[in-house]
Amino acid sequence: MSRILCVSICSVNNEPLFLQNFDNTDLLQCHHLMYSSLDVVLELAKKADMIFQSRGRYLGEIFPFDDQKIYGYITPTNKKFLLMASKSIPEQQQLENFFKEFHRLYVNHISNPFIDCERKIDSPSFIEKVTALVSETNKRI
Amino acid sequence: MVNLFASTSETPEQAMESIERIGFRSGEKFTEKLFFDQPPTSFQANRVGISSFLRHSFWPIAFKGNATILAGSYENMFTIEDTDFIWTRSFSLTGYSKSNLQLYLQYSCGMIRGAIKQLGYRAKVTGSCQSSPKHCQFVIEIS
């Protein structure tokens, strides 16, 4: 049974806007892995000419590292969502659903007029919702 | 909102900037939501794509009207014209000056600038009114 270890959002300039680790994973390692996989995301997106497609694009598994696997998703406005899982997840459909829901949570959070799009996300309700989504998805993968 | 800023700002330029900035932020969020809820059918993130996105997806939903695009004199400049702009539709036909009216258009200029920024480009947007208040033109310069 695979578990989601870490979820992150990176902005257009590759700044981390949000990074949440679950299951007491090492935070530093999460940062390190997420950052290393950003290069691959950019490459994949360019290769398939995916930058600025009109819908969010699921990029699949982008970085295998020991046992952890990293999956990526890029939004039409070039924000990157990354997910780190403990083992390889065979059901891609579940991951696509996860990213779509995550995108929806992000858009709803951004619609708050007091929130700046470029700043780090540290709203407790957003973190709560993401945690709920992750535990929901953990049951299905 | 315009009156509040006009009366509390020290200079008219400051009022214009503040209103435009508010419009900018709401334009950013609006585009994010737009791409998620109603993604346009085809979209390319180059200069041509931006103008067609603005005309086909952004304008009908944000400003509930039709817009036409006129090419500008430079390669990275174009004009969007709306003959029935929703926010100035009910302005009276006399008793206004062009500079006053520009203040009311600053919010929409900001919205357009925010939308273009989310697509990855920086732009400078200026709005002006032509023959009547509801006939507006926005000149967009993309860098």
Q: What is the mean pLDDT of residues B69-81?
A: 78
pLDDT value, residue A101: 92
CA distance A111 to A117: 9
CA distance B111 to B127: 12
Using the Cβ of B98 and the Cβ atoms of chain A, whether some distance falls under 8 Å is answered with: no
CA distance B83 to A20: 48
Task: Sketch the domain layout of chain B as residue ranges.
Answer: 2-142
| Inter-chain touch B36–A51, beta carbons under 8 Å | no
Nearest CA to A8 out of A105, A75, A80 is that of A80
The yes-or-no verdict on residue A51 having pLDDT over 60 is no
Quick one: DSSP state of residue A58? E
Strand order in the sheet with B68-71: B68-71, B77-82, B136-142, B123-129
pTM, to two decimals: 0.85
Q: What is the CATH code for A4-140?
A: 3.30.450.70
Using the Cβ of B120 and the Cβ atoms of chain A, whether some distance falls under 8 Å is answered with: yes
When the pLDDT of each residue in chain A is averaged and rounded to a whole number, the result is 83
Nearest CA to B139 out of B65, B62, B43, B69 is that of B69
Per-residue pLDDT of A81-129, as tens digits, reads 888 888 777 778 888 889 999 999 999 999 888 888 888 888 899 999 9
A71: closest CA of chain B, how far (Å):
20
pLDDT value, residue A105: 92
A52, A78, A110 ranked by CB distance to B29: nearest? A110
The yes-or-no verdict on residue B121 having pLDDT over 70 is yes
Instruction: Give residue A77's pLDDT band: very low, low, confident or very high (50, 70, 90).
Output: confident
The yes-or-no verdict on residue B99 having pLDDT over 70 is no
pLDDT value, residue A129: 93
A56, A77, A113 ranked by CB distance to B118: nearest? A77
Radius of gyration of chain B (CA): 15
- Does an H or E element contain B51, and which? helix B47-53
Q: What is the mean pLDDT of residues A31-36?
A: 84
Range with the poorest average pLDDT among A56-65, A92-101, B114-123: A56-65
Sign (positive or negative) of CA dihedral B55, B60, B61, B64: positive
Q: Which CATH architecture has domain B2-142?
A: 2-Layer Sandwich (3.30)
Q: Are B123 and B117 in contact (CB under 8 A)?
A: yes
Token pair belonging to A75: 């939004």
